[in-house]
Amino acid sequence: MSTETPSSGWQTIARVLPYLWPKDQPWVRRRVVGALLLLVLAKVISVSTPAVYKAAVDALGGEASPMVLGAVGLTLAYGLARFGAQAFGELRDLVFVRVGQRALRALALETFTHLHRLSLRYHIMRRTGTLSRVMERGVKGVDFLLRFLLFSIGPLILELALVAIIFWVVFGFAYMAVVLLTVGLYIAFTLKVTEIRVRIRQEMNDSDNDANQKAVDSLLNFETVKYFGAESREAGRYDTAMSGYERAAIRTGQSLSLLNMGQGAIITAGLVAVMVMAARGVTAGTLTVGDFVMVNAYMIQITMPLGFLGTVYREIRQALVDMGQMFGLLGQPAEIEDRPDAKKLQVAGGAVEFDAVEFGYDPARPILQGLSFRAEPGQTIALVGPSGAGKSTVGRLLFRFYDVTGGAVRIDGQDLRDVTQDSLHDQIGVVPQDTVLFNDTIRYNIAYGRPDAGEEAIFAAARAAKIHDFILSLPDGYETTVGERGLKLSGGEKQRVGIARTILKNPPILLLDEATSALDTQTERDIQDSLREMSQGRTVVTIAHRLSTIADADRILVMEAGRVAEHGRHEELLALGGRYARLWAHQSAEEADALGNPR
């Protein structure tokens, strides 16, 4: 399923232009103007070089006026002209490089920021590997477009125009007509074949995305692959994806050969035609040998960049495709956005209220159906129930990953839709079932809860999570790198790091989303102590799988089909003899069997 619409070529160019001409940064504009002036100056010197060369040849052949500098002087002037054209071209790049790199950085930052603004629904539907490739190729495409569209295509057009005018003025209309016809045929042929090649390159991109995603997905699930002995199967999936890339790459290479041969034939025909005309002029005495040399020099001068035009155009066209995908991504609207008049969430006590909440990820499949409950400040509310009852959905709505479709979620009486997302997220701490860590140090991961925290605050949070001593026992202590997604740590150690960073954040509201269900019983009991200490004085919404972990909750809500089927304290629900009592009896029997105890 496609979730964004790529921009067209002209739309893409229009999106880039503001980065080259920003209203609030005059230094960028000055550099752009300076680079363009240097570009024009370089091309004027470049097109004058063959004329100096002609004069030197005529001087050597005795056909020049005695007033001319002489053969040696003209040769020196020719060398200075060549150097001047190159020098001004390099100065142009020197002036423009800051503008180009600033534009790349700004676009990359905008794309990265926008990806984080998109909804959880979007990221669940899309593949991370594909998104990273779209962003990477898009930014590279901007770099290519800036360098070659401005400094290859633009200068080439200017040079062709100047050469055509010189041919018309110096040699006559017929010479200009041959040059324009040659260039016209060349461009038409190049555009036609390149359009075909762009479609093939798009197939290459799709195959590349598919192969890259399979590789990333397989490596992220390295342990699972090993568990099932699926190395060969994964290699087969990757090879199948790469075979599509191979086929498209072969077609790309073949079409490139066709393009180069056609371009060579057109350029050679034009060059020979002009040279034949000049040779006849020399034979007839209307042109000098210097004129013949100058015609040759001009034709070589324009055919060299024309020979490069095919590759440049193809890459620019591909860059526009890549950038179009990136700008299409930027055009993807964020599902959850702050209202224009949204205010910061003000938490006095931390009361959490779900008022007749209705919600479904798919309109045809409702999850929550009129769910209502209230957690008073400082209370611990536990949500239990079978899979699919809507427990985790409650947590996602509380954090406002999604907006409710009916009813309201409030904190201290403030509807979450009326407050800013940043202020809401600042007030809620989450400990998920599987804490995912950044591939950085333990210090970095704990400090993620409050980046400006000092060392003592980090140590205090680690002590509260009962992991400080373990960290100090490691060879590198707090500078220990945890690996991809924290794989160098055990499940319990990762959870404690996650608890420590939430403690460091110090939020008034806690969401514990089955925070210990993936751990063994002993580790779970140890971490439960840390969670209880962390919960003191805070409003806690805990989603539980193991009922033993929430027996001391102030109120337990038994959910079923998106509604509260039962509620009360642990003892009250057991006495009721309903769903909770049956779940408790079932889990108690399972735990007794696991420990080898009689029932």
Q: Please tell me the distance from the alpha carbon of residue 470 to that of residue 458, in angstroms, as a whole number.
A: 14
Q: Which helix (DSSP H) or strand (DSSP E) does residue 381 occupy?
A: strand 380-384
Contacts of 360 (CB under 8 A, 6+ apart): 366, 367, 368, 405
Residue 108 pLDDT > 80, yes or no?
no
What is the DSSP track for 270-312?
HHHHHHHHHHHHHHHTSS-HHHHHHHHHHHHHHHHHHHHHHHH
Residues of the chain with CATH 1.20.1560.10: 9-330
For residue 197 the two structure tokens come to: 């090649």
Average pLDDT over residues 244-263: 85
**Cβ(35)–Cβ(99) below 8 Å:** yes
Residue 26 pLDDT > 60, yes or no?
yes
Look-up of token digits 């093939």: 200
Residue 418 pLDDT > 90, yes or no?
yes
Q: Please tell me the distance from the alpha carbon of residue 374 to that of residue 356, in angstroms, as a whole number.
A: 11
Average pLDDT over residues 455-469: 89
Residue 545 pLDDT > 70, yes or no?
yes
Q: Is 478 helix (H, G, I), strand (E, B) or coil?
A: helix
| pTM for the full predicted model | 0.62
What is the DSSP track for 81-105?
HHHHHHHHHHHHHHHHHHHHHHHHH
Amino acid 63: pLDDT: 58
Contacts of 413 (CB under 8 A, 6+ apart): 351, 353
Q: Please tell me the distance from the alpha carbon of residue 160 to that of residue 306, in angstroms, as a whole number.
A: 10
Average pLDDT over residues 284-289: 84
Q: Is 373 helix (H, G, I), strand (E, B) or coil?
A: strand
Which of 36-40, 51-55, 177-181, 307-311 has the highest average model confidence (pLDDT)? 177-181
Average pLDDT over residues 384-392: 85
Phi-psi region of 507 (alpha: psi -120 to 50; beta: other; left: phi over 0): beta
Which of 152-161, 221-230, 338-347 has the highest average model confidence (pLDDT)? 338-347
Chain segment 504-537, per-residue pLDDT in tens: 888 899 888 876 665 666 666 777 777 777 788 8
Amino acid 72: pLDDT: 66
Specify the CATH number of the domain 375-402+419-595.
3.40.50.300
Amino acid 304: pLDDT: 73
Handedness of CA 488, 492, 494, 497 (dihedral sign): negative
Contacts of 180 (CB under 8 A, 6+ apart): 164
Residues of the chain with CATH 3.40.50.300: 375-402+419-595
Band of residue 5 on the pLDDT scale cut at 50, 70, 90: very low
Amino acid 415: pLDDT: 93
Band of residue 127 on the pLDDT scale cut at 50, 70, 90: low
Q: Position 505: which residue type?
A: K
Specify the CATH number of the domain 9-330.
1.20.1560.10
Amino acid 354: pLDDT: 93
